[in-house]
Amino acid sequence: MMRRLWLPLLLLLAACAQQAPLPSTAPTLAWPLQLHVQREQAGQTQDWLLVVQQETLALRWSLLDPLGIPLARQLLTGSQWQNDGLLPPNPQARELFAALLFALTPETELAQRYATDDWQVQGQQRTLREAGSPRWQIRYQQPLNFQLKTANGLSYRVETL
């Protein structure tokens, strides 16, 4: 009986521990942003539209398929994600959104928004590490045109619209 009670608690704690790193505050950018995101995994690609808007106290993230159907909608208030609308929680989208925040943060703001020992910049490449291993690797062609690779094998091509 006690095992049944502990299992959901352990799963909840594990999920909380896996939350993607977030900046202490939102980066200084020209909001709203409209981005074309192309996800690649195992030779398969998917195209999406991502719109990021500044709300009064939050950032609204809306991920849409090419037909305009919402895939994920999230609000980032401080360091907390909240579902926006009736879509179910989407941990993969939250991971992507957090990685994009890191990629979009101007280099001059990284030190004030992320822990100094977690990230590294080398030329046109930026890496965020977790437990010594790269969690996100970004290779820039331009500030809003880059490739993002994640530790779980996903690759994203991101460009402004």
List the domain boundaries for the chain: 21-160
**pLDDT (tens digit per residue) in 26-39:** 898 899 999 999 99
E strand or H helix at 4? helix 2-17
**pLDDT (tens digit per residue) in 86-126:** 888 889 999 999 999 999 999 999 999 998 788 999 999 99
Rounded distance between C-alpha atoms, residue 124 and residue 87, angstroms: 36
Can you name the CATH fold of 21-160?
outer membrane lipoprotein receptor (LolB), chain A (2.50.20)
* Contact between 118 and 99 (Cβ < 8 Å): no
- Helix intervals (H) in 18-125: 91-104, 110-113
Q: What is the pTM of this model?
A: 0.86
